[in-house]
Chain A
């Protein structure tokens, strides 16, 4: 099969801007992955083409790149599937990281974020738990973090992360998923310290829930789900004063009360303890009011609200009790 592969090339020492180059090549049966196609280009057409790779079997995470608009592992992506779906193969380096050459980016910001979350098990005080009673990872507790343990640190999620794009300090999906892995581990002795750290600036509450990380992860880690579990753990641990935690609590109270969300009431419930912030919403509230877009902070509840409130109470109590889920 004769195909065209378009690759973004950039050598910061020679080029002012990245440019795209087309390579025409025949791929046979063996050249079935995008990584194979890249090898063929390098061997037969352009020896200067630069890209990272190692294991060739989707366990090292080296060859992540943007293929036809989505972060993927080149070694796991079949040429034929891409051609069928997109009619072409367009390869660019990971986004939001400095390009060192062609498809190789500087992963330093990624590694810095991962090291920031103390990515190792902090042992519990031995004197408190005699060895026979020390916590073990059982089949049940393993289920809590097996998804995040599958992470191969390829950087695809950070490249696709919308919050990171807007706020480079944000810890990002991979680091937070890794942090969750240790919070969920019964052997870890620093769970509380971790949650307090993650609850702060650039932490779990800066995720915008865009789901890009879940969509692009080649190992089905679902980083955003791990972030949501960290938020839940913070709530269950009594850390209820962050804006994010207040948002969840206020949102739930409004829906429990009226059955529906009321945009006129939510900011009041959420921000009444921060008068400055509440004041800041006033000019907008006034403009909304003038256009008939500001719901009155009290609306008549939906019909059947009594049963809805009963469901709310039952679930709320149960969720607050259970340590995970």
Chain B
């Protein structure tokens, strides 16, 4: 496996300075907290972060405490794209009119999957269509975890949540996961990528590249949720890694329309390896698991991942 290394050649090259600092209230093993720590190191201090409502906002800002060493603004749930548009426009206008010093300030939205794929979808699409110079990061923990594990359009097929309950006549969420990176890519923005905290160097390099690129960039990070996925906290990075190794969550980037896998998977593991560590899938029958496997096989072939090998 080859990780992307445009900027940082090794994990030790990441700055030591913490911009998302200790003391936040995230669960141990939280995929979001780990991702954001790496993300902020890669982006650096010259930024303004817009954080729509969600776990990250709640765990990092209980007044009067803050985990943010950079300017940070939470406005509401559904408008990360629009607030960031305003921030970017203001910086442009004030710099052009000589009221702010002329230096590049990265505008970064860090939203959850609900704030991105559901309630914030329109606002995001508007910002991308207008082409504001910003980075939009979706932390995808595949449900509304902050309100207590309700399904979103980003929840995967078959997953249990409190609003896709498992019962006598239901096996969890009956729909497939919305493919947000593909939808975002269809806006024709210069940079779209997926990332995963189990591949920190890949994540850091993509984040750095995304903020350096002129125009809109989108980074979709899969972030395991210990209570929501019903996993052990010490296994969250293992689960994250298995999402890539099984082909369920491939790591790629789309730069100016060119698709490229950034983490090759020569031999894909069976999706069962990924699903069995998570109690949200515990109810799935062999039949359902095979249905998922078939879909992953098809998608993996389309993007050039290696063949599946039985374990």
Q: Do A and B come from one complex?
A: no
